[in-house]
Structure 1
Amino acid sequence: MSKEAASLVHEFTFTSQVQPPVDTGPNPMGARMCFTMGEGTVTGERLKGRFLGGGDWLLVGGDGYGRVDVRGQIATEDGAFIYMNYHGYLEMNAAIGGALTTGAGTDFGDAYLRTSPRLECGDPRYAWVNHTLFVGAGRLLAGGTVEYKVYRVD
């Protein structure tokens, strides 16, 4: 069956407590900041559990955008483990700068923070994640937590 147009369906929301970055400084590619991502929550109808943690190897270019490069793990509430990685873009504007320096939050419209998550799982109950296209929209919550709404492209 073919579809003329794709639609987005909310699949899950996840949060992670993000530690202050290790700033490796400017290099030929831009400025690299490495963030440790702590535990968080994963909530959705088909996917629920805990974000176990991971890291973001953010590269900030001279164009005012950060290139997001995240890897992490999800433990579902029914005992499966899912590897997740995503790339995307973070607009390094005043709202993001203020949130990173003061610990304040942002809203989804305050900066362009979009990702393309890829999930991998060997558990047959979650085999569907291996061949599903996802997109995400993120924001920073007060206190150093990042939140992403992840959508399935249907």
Structure 2
Amino acid sequence: MQLLEPTLTFAFEARVEIAESLRIGRGPGEEVWFTPITGGTVSGPRLSGVVLPYGGDWSTTRPTGTTLDARYLLRADDGAVIEIHNRGVFQSSKEVETRLVKGDPVAESEYYYRTSPVFQTDAESHSWLTSRVFVGMARDEAGVVCIRFFVLD
């Protein structure tokens, strides 16, 4: 029996606009932050539309890296509303993180910023989002988090 090798197919990119992060706090060795999502755009071969100004990203930073838990809404060009629950991981060296915070250009290959999104909608035209597994590859671009979403075939 031949086993399938997984492949990824690009579906779309979301350029998620964010507001200033708010420190919530926590115990020793970790910090919890909330980053409001204020809008954005969605474009690609499988989905186009906008990021609605609702929701946000809760992140927990520990010495080993940061885990992310974002929930927000997309509106497709056809008017359908799509919920996204996007969990992820961000890891980098201290030097790279300092450069990112300063707004310096940093190559995406210098850090690990990946997500595992789950979508929800009852729109028939977008039901494919709810019946596939996706992988997101994220990067920061001056106040915008850009996430390329790929379907795992």
1:14: which partner in 2?
Answer: 14
Deviates more, 1:18-27 or 1:125-134: 18-27
1:41: which partner in 2?
Answer: 41
1:98: which partner in 2?
Answer: 99
* 2:125 partner SS: helix
CA contact (8 A) 1:107 1:140 kept: no
1:73: which partner in 2?
Answer: 73
CA change 1:146–1:70 in 2 (3 A) is same
CA distance in 2, matches of 1:30, 1:92: 16
- After TM superposition, the score normalised by the length of structure 1 is 0.89
> Counterpart amino acid of 1:31?
E
2:144: which partner in 1?
Answer: 145
The CA deviation at 1:36 is 0.7
CA contact (8 A) 1:116 1:136 kept: yes
> Counterpart amino acid of 1:16?
V
The CA deviation at 1:125 is 0.8
Gaps of 5+ in 1: none
Output the aligned Cα RMSD: 1.8
Residues 5-49 of structure 1, C-alpha deviations (whole Å, 9 max, x = no match): 111000110111222211122326721011111211101112100
CA change 1:96–1:38 in 2 (3 A) is farther
CA distance in 2, matches of 1:18, 1:104: 18
Gaps of 5+ in 2: none
Residues 56-86 of structure 1, C-alpha deviations (whole Å, 9 max, x = no match): 10000122x1001111100001110100011
